[in-house]
Structure 1
Amino acid sequence: MKKLYTFLIFIFCCTTLAAQDRLTGETHTTRSEVLARHGMAATSQPLATQVALDVLKKGGTAMDAAIAANAMLGLVEPASCGIGGDIFAIVWDADEQKLYGFNGSGRAPKSISIDYFMEQGMKYVPFSGPLPVTVPGCVDGWFALHGKFGKLPMKELLQPAIDYGREGFPVSEVIAYEMASSYKYSEDQPGFAETYMPLGRPPKKGEVFKNPNLSNTYEKIAEGGRDAFYKGDIARTIDTYMKKHGGFLSYEDLAAHTSNWVEPVSINYRGYDIWELPPNGQGTAALQMLNILEGYDIASMGFGSAEYLHVLTEAKKLAYEDRAKFYADPAFNDIPLEELLSDAYAAQRRALIDPDKAADSYPAGDMEIESGNTTYLTVADKDGNMVSLIQSIYSEFASGMVPDGLGFVLQNRGQMFNVQDPDHANAIEPGKRPFHTIIPAFMTQNGKPVMSFGLMGGAVQPQGHTQIVVNIVDFGMNLQEAGDAPRMRHSGSSQPTGSKMTNGGTLNLESGFDYKTIRELEKKGHDVTFAVGIYGGYQAIKVDLPNKVYTGASESRKDGQAAGY
């Protein structure tokens, strides 16, 4: 027994010292990475991860497993995702040795216009109720992605979630907290309480929650395909419900919906190609931040140093000013992506950073353009295919609108539209896709896959992506450490809705940063606040091609799990 105790102390100390060395003095113990050869899944909820693994073991592809997991997450994590929302993906096709990008975001109703909001004197689209609802793109995304990369029948992929919806599942800790902390914003919306508050309140940790209405909806989709959602009874139910409650979304909007295959965009960061999707999403901001940071010797600054956190924050401010000005639906705007991602532009923006002083504000780039809570998961299969997928209804419980008997909430993504300035790139227009926060990511090197990764959390996502890449490339962390390490989040930059940054915004730091660093940041003019582990949602899979081994990670801030076989 004494030998076992000594051995455990040794292992603990080795783990702690390894993390301590990488994090330059701060001790951060983490979970171990997960290793497997035949398949790997990482999601924000263990039941969803297990469903994905079951699909892989049956011979399903990475995409089959991702769809099954996403359907499960729509049931077990309803405050964050579901078929009332949108979907984006980056897919590595092992046969073609190629990355594919997919944009499954829905559009504004054809009957809506900026005039309505201006006549009502509204400066912003409200978060809840019928007005922020846009066409849900998730189901069409499932079928489009499955048609290209799937193998098993859709009914087989949706069956686990159908069964869990009827039999019930125990609500996990973080999800119970999220439901309890956000339901008050939605409880008065029609259909919400009946679906998510069967006992007059949201379910608590460990209580068994059922959603048979969602199971029925999933069955209709499994049997009738994507048209069951966009042209069948489900679409007619949504149409009737929205008309009854003063909404603009109609049957015609649903029937006209289409998704888009897009080319991922990338920059090279110290020998690694980092891939994101182009606007209407915000992934380009992560690439702009990395381009700016590449001009600094980040590794020598050290993780958690004031010097590093300062330039990271300033790079974020610069990128987000461009985000507010340029990122929007490319069908309505010419977006200067090539210029935004060029080395010359990064150098120009980098020159604006004062190493000793935080800026109150930065101008957005001067280029001419013409008018015209979330779940992330990643799966890899035995054949080398990898899926980086993110799906969301936007804010927690979104619009709160639950169409009669369907068992899911409609997204409030339209809240991101600008309704003050008709000339703004993200101004609301009929049939336009809003600015989107959810972004999947991928890393390659010399044309070969390295890792698929993503991170939830609205506007924090490009900041999170950047920190993950820097943690791995510059600070030498492993896949799990890179996600568990404490993060920063700067808030206050100009937004696509039209609001502006004032007085430099606020630098939010998780617990784990040295107080000496905090004092130095304050001396540089940063307004620093503190939080304990709230910037979560990271999942990742890394591939070792020579050994044919996958490494998986799911950070400790969530209920998530990485597992393989």
Structure 2
Amino acid sequence: MKRLLALILSVCFVLPLLAQQTQKPVLHGSSWMAITGKPLAATAGAMIFQKKGNAVDAACAMLAAACTMWDTLSWGGETQVLIYNPKTKKVIAINAMGFAPTGATPEFFKNKGLNFPPEYGPLAATTPGTPGGLIYMLANYGTMSLEQVLEPAMQMAAGYPIEAQAANIMERYKPMIKAWPYSRKVFLPHSPAVVAGGQNAAVSQREAPEAGEIFVQKDLLETLGKLVEAERNALKRGKGRKDAMMAAYDRFYKGDIAREFVRGCQEQGGLITMGDLAKWKPVEEEPLMVNYKGIEVYKLQQWTQGPVMLQALNILENFDLKAMGYNSTKYIHTLYQAMNLAFADRDFYYGDSYLPPAEPIKGLLSKEYAKQRAGLIRYDKNDVSIGPGDPYPFEGKKNPYLGLLKKRGYELDTTKRNFAPKHDMGNNSAPELYQDRLWRGTTSVEAADKEGWVVSITPSGGWLPACIAGNTGVGMSQRMQSFVLDSALNPFNVVAPGKRPRVTLSPSLALKDGRPFLASAVQGGDTQDQNLLQFFLNVAEFGMNVQQASEAANINTNQLWLSLGGTKLTDREPKPGQILLHDSTPEMVRGDLKKMGYTLSFDDRTSGPINAIYFDWKHGSLWGGSSNHGEDYGLGW
């Protein structure tokens, strides 16, 4: 009887949701759709579409504008892209993640008393990936010039009215910013030291810009101008469109911009060399894909956490989720357990797919492996002993890391696993710090046009408080912190020069019947693929439209190793059984989950800001969804 009542409650909960007015309207368009994390950046995309650019052109303009606004990313960060090419009818991926610089070894950081590379400052920086990634996708899949696409960002660098969010972050972090002279010059224009050119001590009055103040970035404007100048000069010499853009690329990574970037980085204690910049390049790669009930879901390779969503979908395909009811006790429990199983594999098996050792991704994404993992789910309580599985037999191989797993405290024989691994129990971090690390940074860019081009990007890095490299105006990435220093945590993700860290950044694309179905991305660190998984299920299983799905109540599991924040093990350790629920969760569901061993927390925000585009082939239109959290914004036509 109690189970029946719980099911009735879950149905009563979802039906009003499907009928209710969303806080933000669905966006509709037939020609194009442009959505991103900042209103001005969305406007930049619309400007490009109005000039007859395609979705790749518009996405590049939005990316450039968002990078110029700082609070979620900047030009020295990294860019991860999925593109649907209507000419080939295929999804391609662009890996524009920077790599670890010369001298970045486990011993280097351990000698500084760290368990992970630092969160902030020059030693947190990988090589910048966003400029190269933007130029690469524009040159190969766009139609416009770099000058045209950078024009909105350059206008903004010349001066734009800064929003309160970024301005207040600059003020809040001014003690840290003052340690970096080039950041101080840009972010604290009202600092006496900047105004007078002296070295005055910290003062109490506001030193960052005020909301609405015209924020000027002369150095960044000069850097962007140099890129445009290189393109112009190459065109004058008779070079073609792509070669002209590569001239701009070379100026950033090998020319005078690179020299100033390296000088400024090393002056402040960073490791990046000219050789590092010259050696790095973006990579076009095959995305990973699983078929979920007839829908092809695409993610980037295992240097991101993207495959965790694919693994979770494979596991959940073994259950009738719709019959459970949206956010019923059984649905929440099954979802939580499936995500834990996938994240346990992520935490141990994911890493840079371009350097050895080779990750067992074929086994991890096999349906048979997923069925085995699904069989581990207990229905009476949360399983705190969930650890990495053994995907190697599903590739016809023997696991070379069995000894390492046992050393870490995992027992692969599930009949013997009746304890929680010591590494994965407890977390003494302050709750507010933990949540900050869970939600930190990043934005998303979604674009589509009537020709069929679709772009989904999750760019990040160089967010406030950023350390600017010399007089370039370019903030350095903070992505080194996503490496580990100990192979016992993850033998595939140990820091090394020339290696990419395993990042949280994870755009999504889905095709149905051979045509685009959904494009989506979200900010939020380790919660990204939790949120995108639930967003996808909201549409595919529960029939929500994209705006309803982006605003819908999610759950978050904390039973995973954090990828960002803190340099001690205790800063990153999982919190088994901890779950974030929406404030609207019914009391009966709350009570059931407590009895099952969950530790509950609540918020009216249970997802990072999701941006998404749905393709309505019946009517030949585009539906845009943009989260009701944060400053995310979209435009359509």
Determine helix, strand or coil for the equivalent of 1:529.
Answer: strand
Query: C-alpha displacement at 1:167, in angstroms?
Result: 2.8
Provide closer, same or farther for how the CA distance between residues 117 and 355 of structure 1 changes in structure 2, counting only shifts above 3 A: same
User: Using the alignment, how far apart are the partners of 2:388 and 2:19 within structure 1?
Assistant: 36
User: Using the alignment, how far apart are the partners of 2:621 and 2:17 within structure 1?
Assistant: 29
Give the corresponding residue for 2:468: 402
Give the corresponding residue for 2:183: 192
Query: C-alpha displacement at 1:455, in angstroms?
Result: 0.9
Of 611, 630, 633, the match for 1:539:
611
Deviation beyond 6 Å, 4+ runs, structure 1: 24-28
Give the corresponding residue for 1:33: 26
Counterpart AA for 1:564: G
Query: C-alpha displacement at 1:102, in angstroms?
Result: 0.9
Deviates more, 1:257-266 or 1:361-370: 361-370
User: What's the TM-score, normalizing by structure 2?
Assistant: 0.81
Deviates more, 1:138-147 or 1:484-493: 484-493
Q: Deviations over 1:238-262 (max 9, x none)?
A: 2112222222111110111111111
Give the corresponding residue for 2:203: none
Conservation of the 8 A alpha-carbon contact between 1:107 and 1:434: yes
Conservation of the 8 A alpha-carbon contact between 2:442 and 2:460: yes
Counterpart AA for 1:542: Y
Deviates more, 1:155-164 or 1:25-34: 25-34
Give the corresponding residue for 2:194: none
Give the corresponding residue for 1:514: 586
Determine helix, strand or coil for the equivalent of 1:221.
Answer: helix
Counterpart AA for 1:508: L
Higher radius of gyration, 1 or 2:
2
Determine helix, strand or coil for the equivalent of 2:472.
Answer: coil
Counterpart AA for 2:219: N
Of 81, 84, 100, the match for 1:89:
81
Determine helix, strand or coil for the equivalent of 1:405.
Answer: helix
User: Using the alignment, how far apart are the partners of 1:199 and 1:439 within structure 2?
Assistant: 37
Provide closer, same or farther for how the CA distance between residues 130 and 349 of structure 1 changes in structure 2, counting only shifts above 3 A: same
Counterpart AA for 2:38: Q
User: Using the alignment, how far apart are the partners of 1:202 and 1:505 within structure 2?
Assistant: 41
Query: C-alpha displacement at 1:79, in angstroms?
Result: 2.1
User: Using the alignment, how far apart are the partners of 2:12 and 2:160 within structure 1?
Assistant: 39
Of 271, 274, 291, the match for 2:297:
274
Give the corresponding residue for 1:12: none
Provide closer, same or farther for how the CA distance between residues 251 and 370 of structure 1 changes in structure 2, counting only shifts above 3 A: farther
Provide closer, same or farther for how the CA distance between residues 550 and 26 of structure 1 changes in structure 2, counting only shifts above 3 A: closer
1:294 aligns with 2:285: no
Conservation of the 8 A alpha-carbon contact between 2:78 and 2:461: yes
User: Using the alignment, how far apart are the partners of 1:55 and 1:557 within structure 2?
Assistant: 26
Counterpart AA for 2:612: A
Conservation of the 8 A alpha-carbon contact between 2:81 and 2:95: yes
Q: Deviations over 1:413-456 (max 9, x none)?
A: 11111113388211111111111111110010122111211111
Provide closer, same or farther for how the CA distance between residues 181 and 282 of structure 1 changes in structure 2, counting only shifts above 3 A: farther
Query: C-alpha displacement at 1:488, in angstroms?
Result: 1.6
Q: Deviations over 1:11-30 (max 9, x none)?
A: xxxxxxx9965466996733
Determine helix, strand or coil for the equivalent of 1:450.
Answer: strand
Determine helix, strand or coil for the equivalent of 1:387.
Answer: strand
Conservation of the 8 A alpha-carbon contact between 1:20 and 1:27: no
Determine helix, strand or coil for the equivalent of 1:543.
Answer: strand
Conservation of the 8 A alpha-carbon contact between 1:306 and 1:521: yes
Provide closer, same or farther for how the CA distance between residues 282 and 369 of structure 1 changes in structure 2, counting only shifts above 3 A: farther
Of 36, 49, 57, the match for 1:43:
36
Conservation of the 8 A alpha-carbon contact between 2:35 and 2:635: yes
1:335 aligns with 2:353: no
User: Using the alignment, how far apart are the partners of 1:146 and 1:288 within structure 2?
Assistant: 31
Provide closer, same or farther for how the CA distance between residues 106 and 285 of structure 1 changes in structure 2, counting only shifts above 3 A: same
Q: Deviations over 1:461-518 (max 9, x none)?
A: 1101101111111111100000001222112413569957556152122333223322
Query: C-alpha displacement at 1:283, in angstroms?
Result: 0.3
Counterpart AA for 2:149: L
Conservation of the 8 A alpha-carbon contact between 2:264 and 2:471: no
User: Using the alignment, how far apart are the partners of 1:182 and 1:530 within structure 2?
Assistant: 28
Give the corresponding residue for 1:14: none
Counterpart AA for 1:238: F
User: Using the alignment, how far apart are the partners of 1:124 and 1:59 within structure 2?
Assistant: 46
Counterpart AA for 1:137: G
Deviates more, 1:481-490 or 1:529-538: 529-538
User: Using the alignment, how far apart are the partners of 2:90 and 2:471 within structure 1?
Assistant: 41
User: Using the alignment, how far apart are the partners of 1:179 and 1:533 within structure 2?
Assistant: 24
Counterpart AA for 2:104: I
Provide closer, same or farther for how the CA distance between residues 182 and 28 of structure 1 changes in structure 2, counting only shifts above 3 A: farther
- Identical columns (%): 29
User: Using the alignment, how far apart are the partners of 1:131 and 1:167 within structure 2?
Assistant: 30
Provide closer, same or farther for how the CA distance between residues 402 and 358 of structure 1 changes in structure 2, counting only shifts above 3 A: same
Determine helix, strand or coil for the equivalent of 2:272.
Answer: coil
Give the corresponding residue for 1:9: none
Conservation of the 8 A alpha-carbon contact between 1:468 and 1:483: yes
Give the corresponding residue for 1:229: 252
Determine helix, strand or coil for the equivalent of 1:131.
Answer: helix
Map of 1:248-397 to 2, 5 A cutoff?
Answer: 248-332=271-355, 333-366=357-390, 367=392, 368=398, 373-393=441-461, 396-397=463-464
User: Using the alignment, how far apart are the partners of 2:174 and 2:368 within structure 1?
Assistant: 47
Give the corresponding residue for 2:554: 487
Determine helix, strand or coil for the equivalent of 2:114.
Answer: coil
Determine helix, strand or coil for the equivalent of 1:375.
Answer: coil
Counterpart AA for 2:467: M
Q: Structure 2: state its 5+ residue gaps.
A: 1-10, 192-206, 231-247, 393-397, 402-440
User: Using the alignment, how far apart are the partners of 2:354 and 2:50 within structure 1?
Assistant: 41
Q: Deviations over 1:300-331 (max 9, x none)?
A: 22222221111111111111110011110012
Give the corresponding residue for 2:61: 68
User: Using the alignment, how far apart are the partners of 1:40 and 1:205 within structure 2?
Assistant: 28
**For the aligned residues, what is the CA RMSD?**
2.4
Determine helix, strand or coil for the equivalent of 1:439.
Answer: coil
Provide closer, same or farther for how the CA distance between residues 109 and 206 of structure 1 changes in structure 2, counting only shifts above 3 A: same
User: Using the alignment, how far apart are the partners of 1:101 and 1:274 within structure 2?
Assistant: 13
Determine helix, strand or coil for the equivalent of 1:191.
Answer: helix
User: Using the alignment, how far apart are the partners of 1:255 and 1:179 within structure 2?
Assistant: 32
User: Using the alignment, how far apart are the partners of 2:369 and 2:177 within structure 1?
Assistant: 43
User: Using the alignment, how far apart are the partners of 2:221 and 2:400 within structure 1?
Assistant: 45
User: Using the alignment, how far apart are the partners of 1:33 and 1:71 within structure 2?
Assistant: 25
Counterpart AA for 1:383: E
Provide closer, same or farther for how the CA distance between residues 270 and 179 of structure 1 changes in structure 2, counting only shifts above 3 A: farther
Conservation of the 8 A alpha-carbon contact between 1:26 and 1:513: no
Provide closer, same or farther for how the CA distance between residues 47 and 495 of structure 1 changes in structure 2, counting only shifts above 3 A: closer
Aligned residues: 543
1:442 aligns with 2:509: yes
